[in-house]
Structure 1
Amino acid sequence: MCLGTIGKNSIRFTEQFFLFICFTVIITNVVVSAMKPQDFRTCAQTSFCRRNRAYADKAISNSFVSPYNVVKDTINIENGIISGELINTENKVSFVFQVHLLMNNIARIKINEKYPLKPRYDGVKYWSLIQEPVNTLEYTENPSTGKDGVTSLSFGVDRNRKVIIYHTPFHVELLVNDEPVIIFNNRGFFNFEHLRKKDDSVNQPEELIIQSEINTEKEIQTEEKKEERSEEGLWEETFNGKIDSKPNGPESIGLDISFPGFGHVYGIPEHASTLSLKETRGGDGTYNEPYRLYNLDVFEYDLDSPMALYGSIPFLLAHRKGVSAAILWLNAAETWIDIVKSKDDKSFLSFGKPTSTSTHTHWFSESGIIDVFAFLGPTTSDIFKQYGSLTGFTALPQSFAIGYHQCRWNYLSQGDVAEVDEGFDVNDIPYDVIWLDIEHTDDKKYFTWDKIKFSEPEKMQKNIGRKGRKMVAIVDPHVKRDDGYYIYKEAKDLDILTKDKDGKVYEGWCWPGNSVWIDWTNPKAQDWFSKKFAFIQYKGSTEFLFIWNDMNEPSVFNGPEITMPKDLLHYEGWEHRNLHNLFGMAFHSATSQGLINRTTPNHRPFVLSRSFFAGSQRFGAIWTGDNVANWDHLAASSPMLLTIGISGLPFSGADVGGFFGNPEPELLVRWYQTGAFQPFFRAHAHIDTKRREPWLFGDPYTSYIRDAIRQRYILLPFWYTIFQEASTNGMPIIRPMFVVFPDNEEIFAMEDQYFIGNSLLVKPITNQGQTTTEVYFAGNDLYYDYYTFKKVQGSGKVKVDITMNKIPVFLKGGSIIPRRQRFRRSSLAMYSDPFTLLVALNKKGEAAGTLYLDDGKTYEYQKGHYIHRNFNFTSGRFISTSFNKQVQDSENNYIKTNKDLRIERIIVLGVDRSPKNIIGYYNDLIDDKKELKFSLGGIDDIKGIVSASIGVSVEEISKDIIIIRDPKLLVKRDWTIEFVN
């Protein structure tokens, strides 16, 4: 059966419409089926991957010495840049290198051919970096410039960072406090395939055969067969019948990067893998394939795999007790990364130190230049800030974007949208956004509306908007090839379409059928496309409509690996192979700018993208793609989102309920409970799944889901505050345990629980029928059950009973978090609600926290129009002061229009006796002190907060709490509350 019922009443369709939907489902099932491994290449099926792995095999042999040496007397040091020349002594090809010593404890290494036949692609920096980094002048006055074949230089504010360049063979060490933390080419894997002419028989790269590959062929190859394989894939490559012409021949780059003394490395999303990355060439529980970075449309992807998915961020973080380091491999071509680990590598570590593990990585990309940033921390928070200073911090979204989103492929008509919207109100479930997938368009032509199903789109959006809600519509990068379609005609006339290798407009197959793709790397295309979102151009759009960029890897149904051929041509003649991984981000960028430009004054955009790259955080949110409705995919969402978050892109989520398949009620409940504690909270489902709006499963499941969504809304002030922090210092929104407790080695690989900010500890439940779980409480301090406020003493694993109505969440002692506890239909409806402050004391009787507020919509906050409060509880005094020093309160437009925002309740956890009295006053009116009403765990007072504690009774609430009722304190003012004993 194609269609079922929705809400209380079934939606009636004409016979023609019914047949159309059925036909769509049938076609969908043909195109979008389970992931087929044979559709995607392995390393052995990728010539440059084979060559670089083989080169690494050769390099680790005893007789090998890296052929790359610094040319004598070419070292120059000027303005924080060490430069020089390299030569490959085997083929006499020359290279130039630069080591930039940058501000904020960052170094950069660039290597390129000295005399290339043609320029090599170096355009990634224009997309990923917000500005050209500034070199530091903070280095020693008398550096070593080549004595004994070594050049060294100390840098950094405290001169405790050092770079050492070894000339023969060439390799580079970066040290912190005289200990190496990152080493380039220590293993000799550096391999730079210079550009050459096809008929040049001299200096052809040697194609080495990996012994394991030879063995799998189960035959002894003749010398003739080996020679034949050595030429394979250099100038042309075929996969699944698709030919890659490779007009520039072999041009890959490879480099080994070691992290001495680091047993754990993280990052390089997107993969459905573990948080602490696995080895790929040996070791226990390892992968046989390298991690691959190549943006692809992978349906129903496999778990525990290094295969490429929708996005790529070539950022890797290494962490050990006492120090962190990281690198950004700035290359948007197809890239593979091998990871191996070693014990007691004495070339790195001093004698007398305990046994340690070092991690060695091998990076190789198909084309481009070597451009690597090294972030020297020393802490993870330092690295997140360093990375953000280069690529930009996450954009602060409109406040509605962190509420709950309701989506499926597809809501079928305006009536369907209205009925779903009403269903939330009838069932007292808040939500902020309803989404429309591809079926809302006129024949898959984006920026249009189906004239029958969505005949009054503006009215539909305004009806949603009147309730404080928004709508999101999809705009994909493929353009239907139809001369009557204005988007196609304008793009063709402007000559901004992607070309094939012969310079003709490239055509492929996607949802509209025969399609073309705009060249998003063309500045003219960026400017033109951003104007398409103006209300006068995007007919039927309103300020309540926001955008979803899907299929932007890009997905091409009849292309190699379901994407674009690599030999397509982009702006200025660059091949697609050079910039594939940033193509989707360029589309995301143009869309985001279009939404900014459409209003005066500008409003913040919301654009969800499936594809991403380094820098995507500046343009909006992403999600983990086409997951599956099973318990394993629910469990995998945590390490995937944690990995993406620590790689600079914190606004991310996974489809609640799973995109493919029909979740049983228990799974759906657990997914909602987990999604409510992840940054991007959206339910989404495939067109062929059963309807699963929250109320369709009946009680108790509807109640459980309602409670989970409400919990998200209670905490929206806390979430928004954490988002603001991410937008200024790059900190992840949800954080792995090692980020919060960096010296606890026991939790360095822990991925099944995490923190929101540094305050809330969340443990998702990811097994069917689970009644108990173990929660690890790091540190030696207090934690509090978030729902009952009862104390838990750290540290270590504690067995916790669980029920269906909630997942384990704990508030770390020492935290203060803001909440809004009145249930409304949307976040906008909560805009003027008062606040409850939840104060969780640590063992010292102290706590701290913040609250950030602005209009949630415009860029006025950049002018200082916001409230940012610092809360501090110590020695029995609770003080609120302002962080905002940009403008006076009297000039602060946000304060002017929200002057009456108040604190309605303060709940202090962890008290063992009642004070004699509590007084409060404004700091500028210290003589006007007032006694505040309070109680120590009184039943009558507890009843007022039980409704905000999901599924618990009054009797379950801890009595070791003080509740201050209506202290009559305004949020905007500095104030003090004193506990008098």
Structure 2
Amino acid sequence: MATFTERMGPVLLFWLGLCLSGTWAVDKGNFKTCDQSAFCKRQRAITPGESPYRALLETMELTNTKLTLQLINDNNKVRLLLELYRLQGNITRVKINELKPLKPRYEVPDVLIREPPTEPLSLLSQDENGVVLSLGAESQRVIVSARPFRLDIVEGRDVLMSLNSRGLLGFEHLRMRKDTFSYKVTSTVASVWDNIKRVFSSSQADPEADNKEATDPPSQVETTKEEEEKVEDGMWEETFKSHTDSKPNGPSAVSLDFSLPGVEHVYGIPEHADTLKLKTTDSGDPYRLYNLDVFQYELYNPMALYGSVPVMLAHNAQRTTGIFWLNAAETWVDISSNTAGKTVFGKMLDYVQGSSETPQTDVRWISESGIIDVFLMLGPTPREVFSQYASLTGTQAFPPLASLGYHQCRWNYNDQEDVRAVDAGFDEHDIPYDFIWLDIEHTDGKRYFTWDPHKFASPKEMLQGLMDKKRKMVAIVDPHIKVDTNYKIHNEIRSRGFYIKNKDGADYEGWCWPGSAGYPDFTRPDMRAWWAGQFAYDQYEGSMENLYTWNDMNEPSVFNGPEVTMHKDALHGSWEHRDMHNLYGFYVQMATAQGLIERSGGVERPFVLTRAVFAGSQRLGAVWTGDNAAEWDHLKISIPMCLSLGLVGISFCGADVGGFFKSPSSELLVRWYQTGAYQPFFRAHAHLDTPRREPWLFGPENTALIREAVRQRYTFLPYWYQLFYHAYQTGEPVMRPLWVEYPQDPATFALDDEFLLGRDLLVHPVTEEGARGVTAYLPGKDEVWFDIHTFQKHNGVQNLYIPVTMSSIPVFQRGGSIIPRKLRVRRSSACMEDDPYTLYVALDNRRTAEGELYIDDGHTFNFEKREFIHRKFSFTNNVLSSVNLEPDAQFTTKSWVERIIILGASKPSKITLRTAGKLLVLLFTI
């Protein structure tokens, strides 16, 4: 057996090389391009306009809720089964699978919150060329064309979306492997072949004509040169660098193209370090969705990162639609546009010359395995698309109020005394915070659920000290488990058979922080239940109710694995890892969140941060954008990265303030705090080898600037909490692009250097080094915006130049809104619980405004028992009134409305308060 040094050598040299060279940059050679990913290369090579698929209309069956129809590939005579459903809420679902696969193909479980309820379908017309079905809503129809197969969704005279319009449907059917040179039909193979013959003969109208290949088993057949090339092309085995991927099921890729007439702007498919508006990929690689541990990622390219959410939104001034591609295997997304590369002048010339070319974006999804299961969310508004997606995968988890405060983290605080000193430093410098974090060094030799016996000998004492100040802690718990027979967690997982297996059936082992590590199979419900139980206070020694959890490295990260992740031929029961790779982190966070809920008897809301995400991860907690760097471009990219995640349901997003790698200048650090204070998840974090950067270490002037940014965050906590409650209720993003609220304004469609918080706060952070000013676009015809610092009023639909100093954070409140704030900032959010509210009433041009206030206990699930206050404020005719939005809800608070600040009002002669039948004259100032 190899020694630890021999086995870990490559990993140690990797890190040592980085430290010695001072280089912190992704090695792109560690990660595949499309050309190096065999299935992507094969599918991308399909010629447009030559689809071999046609619909067999005679096989059509239509019930009240479902259309089924067989498709046939005229090249190989393999049949597919298409299912089409009309779902409630203006969603159409299309599934395509093999009619009779040799074995079941993977269909993603647990992501949908329920089986989506259906609505009636009805037949409008049918002939030899196709069928037309009514979708019931707003004259919507689906047209299925037979030869070649094509599916169009039409509303009135407009085509909303087309499937296979370019003929790029690809479906690699499961098959038996032919030996490279020749093979004999053994009795076992012959038996299987007989079964296949029976399947095809029973399912096809004319097996002689449509599937002649399947009528006789090949025996002693020499493989053709073409077949040899296919084998070499990675159909049955693929090698990347030193790793060979055995593919026992052979080629199994699926792909489908979608055309979006009238659309020039598409968004989503996070996670990528790129602009908000997705770019065309004609001249480069497609966007890749494959959860990977990418060491300091590169910006502005389509490389895969830690998360994969296969959801895309398309938008123009008339409509917003969405595509949800429910597939958890490695996926590539190609985007092309007939207006790509055209200048504004070129588009104007088209108009002047009378060109009738309608803008169109074409998208193609390619996945390595599984089936085609796609949800077409037809809007028509952005809010309706958010609601449609939420009806499928759920809404953002409603977080504890404290988690919306400031988080202080680094890899790693050294020991309990270090934690105590940092905690005291915040008090000394009058900077509030809610959570202090511990990275992997707090454990006993990277054994999770343990504490270093020397550095963290009395964790409960440490946690109690924080609790006394109404503060909390987060400790990391990663999903790689040290292989050590003296480690209880490892022994139990092994004895219960809960580890993922390698292709030979033994426990899969890889290398990560502890050295040799096993990887629990979180796809198993019994494994998740066991894992959840480990967070019980009597199991997780040293834990208390103010200790929360961080799941890192859950892509999963495997230092010595292909592309720094798990081998695709590893096994989760009968399924290969390739089928469900992008789900692994989702399941890790699911089990952890459940553990935090169970330890409190189901009373307390959990807080769990994850790095790897998939569709539905919003139900489980928060996400951050991974290992960024202390560079200005990384600060800038944090905005579109979080906006993209918000568009696909994951609102609780943030980036490491200051940058994880490298050391920020004091200017960059201050600007990052100012930006992070207005992003949903607000955490500073830094690499082990970087100099310390607590907020008071950069001189008193910078400490004051950082203090002010953090304090601004705390004054807005009531508004943040209200926004997250709304996101939990509706699925609408907390941090959102301007086009969501101004969908008919083309000037907003590509903006990603500013954003809205809810509807009413517009933020344009300063993200340029040495900036003396920024230009913010203020949207909304007939709207006004108020600078929250100076109360200066500005009209909408203008590019406003704003001079800035180092203290500037350009933020504007929309006229017509009422925002609650708490202005008495204390050392943590819990210390502010009973403090009074100040209402900021910003009047619109009609001198009206409205807003809301939501209050509950801030940490339990009691709000589900209707223990909360939810009130609506309205200002009209110089009267501010309050209405209870939930009369049957009950909650008592010691807080009160202390002050009301009205922006845009004229000087009054007096102000009166009418409450409980009494009329009081109030003091006021101008």
Give the TM-score taking structure 2 as reference length. 0.91
Letter in 2 for 1:389: S
Match of 2:463, SS state, is helix
Are the counterparts in 2 of residues 161 and 178 from structure 1 also a CA contact under 8 Å? Answer: no
User: Match of 1:101?
Assistant: 86
Are the counterparts in 2 of residues 848 and 872 from structure 1 also a CA contact under 8 Å? Answer: yes
Q: Does 1:314 align with 2:310?
A: yes
How far the C-alpha of 1:355 sits from its partner, in A, is 5.0
User: Match of 1:967?
Assistant: none
How far the C-alpha of 1:155 sits from its partner, in A, is 2.5
Of residues 39, 44, 66 in structure 2, which corresponds to 1:53?
44
* Separation (CA, whole Å) in 1 of partners of 2:802 and 2:356: 36
How far the C-alpha of 1:144 sits from its partner, in A, is 2.8
Match of 2:841, SS state, is strand
How far the C-alpha of 1:278 sits from its partner, in A, is 0.3
User: Match of 2:746?
Assistant: 745
Letter in 1 for 2:61: N
Change (3 A) 1:825 1:273: same
* Separation (CA, whole Å) in 2 of partners of 1:903 and 1:113: 63
User: Match of 1:38?
Assistant: 29
Match of 2:567, SS state, is coil
The alignment-based identity, stated in percent, is: 49
User: Match of 1:731?
Assistant: 732
How far the C-alpha of 1:730 sits from its partner, in A, is 0.6
* Separation (CA, whole Å) in 2 of partners of 1:28 and 1:463: 38
How far the C-alpha of 1:784 sits from its partner, in A, is 0.7
Of residues 63, 68, 80 in structure 2, which corresponds to 1:83?
68
* Separation (CA, whole Å) in 2 of partners of 1:886 and 1:25: 59
Q: Which moved more, 1:588-597 or 1:24-33?
A: 24-33
How far the C-alpha of 1:26 sits from its partner, in A, is 5.4
User: Match of 1:961?
Assistant: none
Q: Does 1:904 align with 2:887?
A: no
* Separation (CA, whole Å) in 2 of partners of 1:496 and 1:601: 25
Match of 2:722, SS state, is helix
User: Match of 1:128?
Assistant: 111
Match of 2:248, SS state, is coil
Corresponding residue pairs, total: 862
User: Match of 1:269?
Assistant: 270
Are the counterparts in 2 of residues 80 and 135 from structure 1 also a CA contact under 8 Å? Answer: yes
User: Match of 1:979?
Assistant: none
Please tell me the root mean square deviation across aligned C-alpha atoms, in Å.
2.2
Where does 1:242-641 land on structure 2 (aligned, <5 Å)?
242-282=243-283, 288-343=284-339, 356-571=358-573, 573-641=574-642
1:117-163, CA deviations, whole angstroms, 9 ceiling, x for partnerless residues?
111111x1x221110101113x55xx23532422222224x443222
Q: Does 1:173 align with 2:152?
A: yes
Are the counterparts in 2 of residues 97 and 110 from structure 1 also a CA contact under 8 Å? Answer: yes
How far the C-alpha of 1:33 sits from its partner, in A, is 5.0
* Separation (CA, whole Å) in 1 of partners of 2:449 and 2:63: 53
How far the C-alpha of 1:233 sits from its partner, in A, is 0.4
User: Match of 2:920?
Assistant: 930
1:75-117, CA deviations, whole angstroms, 9 ceiling, x for partnerless residues?
1221321111111111110111111100000110000001111
Letter in 1 for 2:699: G
Q: Does 1:914 align with 2:907?
A: yes
* Separation (CA, whole Å) in 1 of partners of 2:96 and 2:226: 35
Structure 1 stretches lacking a partner, 5+ long? 1-21, 204-222, 283-287, 938-981
Are the counterparts in 2 of residues 863 and 886 from structure 1 also a CA contact under 8 Å? Answer: no
Q: Does 1:775 align with 2:815?
A: no
1:344-383, CA deviations, whole angstroms, 9 ceiling, x for partnerless residues?
99xxx9x999654210001100000000001011100001
Letter in 2 for 1:914: K
Match of 1:50, SS state, is helix
* Separation (CA, whole Å) in 1 of partners of 2:16 and 2:279: 39
Are the counterparts in 2 of residues 245 and 567 from structure 1 also a CA contact under 8 Å? Answer: yes
Match of 2:45, SS state, is helix
Match of 1:59, SS state, is coil
Are the counterparts in 1 of residues 635 and 672 from structure 2 also a CA contact under 8 Å? Answer: yes
Match of 1:228, SS state, is helix
* Separation (CA, whole Å) in 1 of partners of 2:888 and 2:630: 48
* Separation (CA, whole Å) in 1 of partners of 2:768 and 2:71: 55
Match of 2:693, SS state, is coil
Change (3 A) 1:24 1:110: closer
Are the counterparts in 2 of residues 75 and 146 from structure 1 also a CA contact under 8 Å? Answer: no
Letter in 1 for 2:90: N
* Separation (CA, whole Å) in 1 of partners of 2:119 and 2:225: 55
* Separation (CA, whole Å) in 2 of partners of 1:541 and 1:307: 38
1:154-211, CA deviations, whole angstroms, 9 ceiling, x for partnerless residues?
224x4432222112211111223441111110100001000001118999xxxxxxxx
Match of 1:649, SS state, is coil
* Separation (CA, whole Å) in 2 of partners of 1:489 and 1:269: 37
Change (3 A) 1:226 1:536: closer
Q: Does 1:161 align with 2:140?
A: yes
* Separation (CA, whole Å) in 1 of partners of 2:15 and 2:429: 30
User: Match of 2:205?
Assistant: none
* Separation (CA, whole Å) in 1 of partners of 2:585 and 2:797: 44
Are the counterparts in 2 of residues 69 and 88 from structure 1 also a CA contact under 8 Å? Answer: yes
Are the counterparts in 2 of residues 620 and 651 from structure 1 also a CA contact under 8 Å? Answer: yes
Are the counterparts in 2 of residues 653 and 679 from structure 1 also a CA contact under 8 Å? Answer: yes
How far the C-alpha of 1:315 sits from its partner, in A, is 0.1
User: Match of 2:171?
Assistant: 192
Change (3 A) 1:227 1:575: closer
How far the C-alpha of 1:794 sits from its partner, in A, is 2.0
Structure 2 stretches lacking a partner, 5+ long? 1-11, 184-192, 194-223, 343-350
Letter in 1 for 2:110: W
User: Match of 2:3?
Assistant: none
Are the counterparts in 1 of residues 57 and 128 from structure 2 also a CA contact under 8 Å? Answer: no
Q: Which moved more, 1:582-591 or 1:877-886?
A: 877-886
Q: Does 1:149 align with 2:132?
A: no
Are the counterparts in 2 of residues 101 and 107 from structure 1 also a CA contact under 8 Å? Answer: yes
User: Match of 2:709?
Assistant: 708
* Separation (CA, whole Å) in 2 of partners of 1:28 and 1:859: 46
Give the TM-score taking structure 1 as reference length. 0.86
User: Match of 2:683?
Assistant: 682
How far the C-alpha of 1:524 sits from its partner, in A, is 1.1
* Separation (CA, whole Å) in 1 of partners of 2:20 and 2:647: 37
1:266-311, CA deviations, whole angstroms, 9 ceiling, x for partnerless residues?
00000001101000005xxxxx110000000001100001000000
Letter in 2 for 1:855: D
Are the counterparts in 2 of residues 782 and 843 from structure 1 also a CA contact under 8 Å? Answer: yes
* Separation (CA, whole Å) in 2 of partners of 1:199 and 1:299: 40
Match of 2:739, SS state, is helix
User: Match of 2:846?
Assistant: 844
Of residues 799, 805, 808 in structure 1, which corresponds to 2:807?
805
How far the C-alpha of 1:883 sits from its partner, in A, is 1.3
* Separation (CA, whole Å) in 1 of partners of 2:578 and 2:831: 48
How far the C-alpha of 1:766 sits from its partner, in A, is 1.1
How far the C-alpha of 1:757 sits from its partner, in A, is 0.5
User: Match of 2:766?
Assistant: 765
Match of 2:859, SS state, is coil
* Separation (CA, whole Å) in 2 of partners of 1:853 and 1:318: 35
Match of 1:824, SS state, is coil
Match of 1:639, SS state, is helix
